[in-house]
């Protein structure tokens, strides 16, 4: 008899690790996201002042999608964050 719960726990654990590494989900970032790159020397976690979401930059150079409601404030008040342009594969 197999147990599907073991797979579910494994998937949840992997999803959490992807979040900690600053990755987006396989379906892509949520609509209304702005991308930032962390250029500091260590890892950093910030909390969006409007949404209350936690954004984890796991290493220098990590790129993370930030909700547009939080983007302006984080850009103005958090050192070592740089707004970046992200192009989709289909864009010309």
Round to whole Å and give the CA distance between 4 and 43.
34
pLDDT for 40-80, tens place per residue?
Answer: 999 999 999 999 999 999 999 999 999 999 999 999 999 99
Q: 70: which residues sit within 8 A by CB, 6+ positions away?
A: 48, 49, 50, 51, 53, 55
Rounded to an integer, the average pLDDT of 18-36 is: 63
Domain spans of the chain, in order of start = 4-84
Q: pLDDT at residue 92 above 80?
A: no
Which one has a higher pLDDT value, 4 or 13? 4
Q: Please report the pLDDT score of residue 11 as a whole number.
A: 42
Please report, rounded to a whole number, the percentage of residues in the chain having pLDDT higher than 90: 55
């Amino acid at each position: 008899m197999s147990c599907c719960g073991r797979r579910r726990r494994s998937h949840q654990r992997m999803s959490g690790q992807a979040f900690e590494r600053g990755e987006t989900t396989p379906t892509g970032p949520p609509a209304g996201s702005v991308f930032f790159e962390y250029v500091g020397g260590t890892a950093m976690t910030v909390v969006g002042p409007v949404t209350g979401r936690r954004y984890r930059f796991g290493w220098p150079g990590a790129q993370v999608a930030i909700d547009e409601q939080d983007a302006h404030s984080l850009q103005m008040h958090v050192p070592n964050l740089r707004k970046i342009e992200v192009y989709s594969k289909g864009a010309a």
